Structure 1
Amino acid sequence: MTSEEVAQNAMQIILHAGEARKYCMDALKDIEKGDFDGAKDKMKLANAEIVKSHRVQTNSIQKETQGEKGEYSVLFAHAQDTLMTVYSEINLAKRLIDIFESFHQRLTQLEMTNK
């Protein structure tokens, strides 16, 4: 791979990971408002974007394992770091949806019991 191809792949990884992060943050805002369905919908969009990002990374790695040499790139390393960070954010947001939805359900039941 040429350094230009490596840079283009890195930018695609960053682009899609950034979109995934945006949807993830939007989902967290929905959680804050108690809109769990909206949060889950946003997480589906985040997941779709992170999959696109991951595919670019995987294709790049596969080319190298097939003997196509590429130059080391700080930009590509940054892209991989961004991808993994956003993966973590997505995993945390998914857990937060479950936690807050469960908390909301329990609180609603408690309020109904106390009426």
Structure 2
Amino acid sequence: MLEEKKVQDAMQIILHAGDARLHCMNGLKAIENSDFDKAKDEIKRANDEIVKAHRIQTNCITNETQGEAGEYSVLFAHAQDTLMTIYSEINIAKRMIKIFEAYDARLTILERLKRVNEHE
């Protein structure tokens, strides 16, 4: 019975992390299109999903530290790897939004200056 719970928890972590990855990829596509509002929204949704996955992981670890039997599970290890990989992807995407927003703002200023100089 305990093994069944661990499998269910692992699958829930993988599912939430997978949903987070989908939102993260959508956010990156939005960055490509300079749609930073959509990118931020998608990253927020990705973060919401990764938090759900992280809570499940934390509950499993807490239960194990409180004496629940905790045998090694390849599936649970995979779930943890998936969670942390996608968590890193989300962090990189958050930084990319800031980088490309700054880059876009600089380009906008340069384009305005060019237009002003052309009219003089």
User: TM-score interval w.r.t. the shorter chain?
Assistant: over 0.9
Structure 2 residue identity aligned to 1:65: T
Matches for 1:57-96 after TM superposition, within 5 Å: 57-96=57-96
Q: Give 1:55 shift.
A: 0.2
Q: RMSD between aligned alpha carbons? A: 0.8
Residues in 2 aligned to 1:52 and 1:31: alpha-carbon distance in whole angstroms: 25
Q: Which runs of 5+ in 2 are unaligned?
A: 116-120
Structure 2 residue identity aligned to 1:103: Y
Residue 105 of structure 2 is matched in structure 1 by 105
Moved over 3 A (4+): none
Contact (CA 8 Å) 1:3, 1:70: kept in 2 or not?
A: no
Structure 2 residue identity aligned to 1:60: C
Higher relative contact order (CA 8 A, sep 6+): 1
Contact (CA 8 Å) 1:27, 1:93: kept in 2 or not?
A: yes
Residues in 1 aligned to 2:94 and 2:44: alpha-carbon distance in whole angstroms: 10
1:71 counterpart SS class: coil
Q: Which runs of 5+ in 1 are unaligned?
A: none
* Larger gyration radius, structure 1 or structure 2: 2
Q: Give 1:38 shift.
A: 0.4
Deviations 1:16-66 (A, max 9, x none): 000000000000000000000000000110000000000000000000000
Tell me the percent identity. Answer: 67
Residue 41 of structure 1 is matched in structure 2 by 41
Q: Give 1:70 shift.
A: 2.3
